[in-house]
Amino acid sequence: MKDQFYAYIQDLQNKITQALNDVDGKAKFKEDVWKRSEGGGGQSRIIENGAVIEKGGVNISAVHGQLPKSMQAYFKIGEVDFSACGLSLVIHPKNPMAPTVHANWRYFEMYDNKGVLADQWFGGGQDLTPYYLFEEDAMYFHQQCKQACDKHHPDFYKDFKKQCDRYFYNEHRKEGRGVGGLFFDYLKKDKNFNIKDRFDFVTEVGDVFLDAYLPILNKRKDLPYSKNNRDWQEIRRGRYVEFNLIHDKGTLFGLKTKGRIESILMSLPPHVQWRYNYEPDQGSEEFKLIAALKNPREWI
């Protein structure tokens, strides 16, 4: 399963970076291969200063070895070995009218103290962070997510949409990071699904990513915008940074397992602002975005 999933994300990394290179037209993803001293490594592909993408990363990694102490406490387990692989991506477009997108699909194995597979699960999801709210974009993105989910279980979309709203929430700001999408974790085999069913579902979601995001990016990437729109985008990117550094378990997992710092923090936006107590005018487009983030909506 580990090899099968790694082969899948390698292929998906190729497809996604190729498609985004084509959309951008100016910059291209560059690859950095890295090794983890405790076991494993990854291939990070980063794009910067493109015509469309200001900064983005589409990274795969496969790490293994002894579960770090801090993670042992987290999983309430002793000294065991683990193996984890996945694809993580974040795309920060230059145009404030185009939303940032994040996605991650991952597979985790945990072994007993004899090295025998003791537990295995999939996790992942994809979510959209607009700076200006185009309701049709949020609806379209969620529809694509729902279509992929519905092929596997009628409750998946509803459940994983709710989990996404809960997870990507800036508790200290009392607002969502974006308009959500899907988030799922600990998808293990059970009486209804074997591990191959879980694989089929996660790869279905992975396969729908480009269909869900590219049409939105293409629609917004050339819209006109002002300096004020750009400032707003940079201020909102600050909230993105706050979420990733304060709340995100994925970032934390990467730092605790001594992943490659530059690959983990590629998610941080290129230009960011923090202004004191900045609040948009009531009724403005910026204000409408905040209202949508304060109260997660049903987009379908």
Rounded Cα–Cα distance for residues 183 and 168 (Å): 9
User: Least distance in Å: CB of 241 to a second copy?
Assistant: 6
Q: Decide: is 266 part of the binding site for a second copy (CB under 8 A).
A: yes
Question: Which residues 184-243 are close enough to bind a second copy by CB under 8 A?
Answer: 234, 238, 241-242
Chosen residue from 153, 245, 288, 297 binding a second copy by CB under 8 A? 245
Sheet holding 180-187, edge to edge: 30-35, 40-48, 53-66, 81-93, 100-111, 117-129, 180-187
Between the alpha carbon of residue 286 and those of residues 96, 171, 280, the distances in Å are 11, 20, 6
**CA separation for the pair 162, 164 (Å, rounded):** 5
Pattern 44-83, binding to a second copy, x per CB under 8 A? --x-x------x-x--------------------------
64 as an active site residue: the answer is no
CA dihedral 240, 246, 250, 254 (to 10 degrees): 120
CA distances (Å), 37 to each of 42, 63, 266, 285, in order?
12, 10, 20, 48
Which part of the chain contacts a second copy (CB under 8 A), choosing from 176-184, 218-226, 263-271, 288-296? 263-271
Q: How far apart are CA 150 and CA 261, in angstroms?
A: 36
Q: Which is nearer to a second copy, 159 or 242 (CB)?
A: 242
**Among 10, 15, 19, 32, which residue sits at the site for a second copy (rule: CB under 8 A)?**
32
Min dist. Cβ of residue 88 to a second copy (A) = 14
For the CB of residue 262, give the shortest distance to a second copy in the complex, in Å: 5
**Which residue is catalytic, options 64, 102, 172, 247?**
102
Tell me which amino acid residue 275 is. Answer: R
Catalytic residues: 102
Residues that bind a second copy (CB under 8 A): 32, 46, 48, 55, 57, 172-173, 234, 238, 241-242, 245-246, 255, 261-262, 265-266, 268-277
